Amino acid sequence: MATIFAPANHVPGEDAESLYKAFKGWGTNEKAVISVLAHRNATQRKQIRQAYWDLYQEDLVKRLESELKGDFERAVYRWILEPQDRDAVLANVALKKSSDYHVIVEIACVRSAEELLAVRRAYQARYKHSLEEDVAAHTTGDVRKLLVGLVTTFRYEGAEINTRLAKSEANILQDAIKDKKFSNDEVIRILTTRSKTQLMATFNGFKDDQGTSITKALLGEPADNEFKRLLRIAIRCINEPLKYYEKILRNAIRKFGTDEDAITRVIVTRAEKDLLDIKELYYKRNSVPLDQAVAKETSGDYKAFLLALLGKQD
């Protein structure tokens, strides 16, 4: 479930005016920015952008970029974009650092087939390249095969499960793991073409048969294999996305070296989806509410914005 509180009776023109007032003069009234934007859903934010343009002939996004700074600016920028555009930006940024490729796996595996399609369109509109073109050009070998396969698939979304197939493909995966041939074509084929329901049945079959989950079975030697790392992430994103996001947050919220990018990414991309469920999972796992943990390791307007997205009402 979503965490943000968005009033049903909002007037885009009024919101645009409030924001305009917040930007006027020296400095910015960040609290006003947060109190408006953090409490509007995607449709409403889009209307506000349009109203801002109609009233002031200026792109609200560009204005925000110039008025705000630092982690706060990055978070608000990602928040104000439409979800598919946001994902396109996240993917493009992630391509620039090979240690961030898991973001691409996240986007490709957590989004629905139609959402991923929308991301591909938004990517083209923004960068004048196809997403797969850029992913392929930035990667090589098995990582390329996996990532390109993941971003280009248009998975069937029905609930049908073929149990015989699930068994045989679980065996294929098991053989690949046993022979340490994780990146063989069959593993990639299964992961990058089968429907999610079918894959979950396959993973369950694996667990029933082997007594251990496939992600656990993929641990161990070789340890620092990039392909294996991304493979595990793909499986976790398909199988248990909530647990995956909880872990990302848990790892990102550290006393030293807090990973603001990761915190922003999870909170901003899930606030309108399932952040409430992630919060519950976080509390179960860490015995500390997520709000509290975030508040401890972040500060200022950035903190206020995150907490607002997490559901804090003024």
Residues within the interface to another protein (CB under 8 A): 117, 120-121, 124, 128-133, 136-137, 140-141, 144-145, 148-149, 152-158, 160, 185, 189, 192-195
Neighbour-count burial for 56-93, b at 16+ CB within 10 Å, e otherwise: eeeebeebbeebbeebbbbbbbbbbbebbbbbbbbbbe
Output the smallest distance, CB 194 to another protein, in A.
6
Comparison of 57 and 140: residue with beta carbon closer to another protein: 140
Helices (H), the chain: 12-23, 30-37, 42-56, 60-67, 70-80, 83-95, 101-110, 113-127, 131-138, 141-152, 163-178, 185-193, 196-210, 214-217, 226-239, 241-252, 260-270, 275-286, 290-297, 300-309
Output the smallest distance, CB 153 to another protein, in A.
6
Output the smallest distance, CB 189 to another protein, in A.
5
**Terminal Cα distance for the chain, rounded:** 20
Comparison of 127 and 283: residue with beta carbon closer to another protein: 127
Burial class (CB in 10 A: 0-12, 13-18, 19+), 242: middle
Output the smallest distance, CB 141 to another protein, in A.
7
Comparison of 130 and 258: residue with beta carbon closer to another protein: 130
Comparison of 162 and 213: residue with beta carbon closer to another protein: 162
Signed CA dihedral, 280, 283, 284, 286: sign only: positive
**Rounded CA separation 143/141 (Å):** 6
> CB of 230 within 8 A of CB of 101?
yes
SS3 31: helix
Q: Beta-carbon neighbour count of residue 43 at 10 Å? A: 11
Output the smallest distance, CB 233 to another protein, in A.
20
Comparison of 120 and 228: residue with beta carbon closer to another protein: 120
Comparison of 40 and 196: residue with beta carbon closer to another protein: 196
Output the smallest distance, CB 114 to another protein, in A.
9
Output the smallest distance, CB 188 to another protein, in A.
9
Comparison of 158 and 220: residue with beta carbon closer to another protein: 158
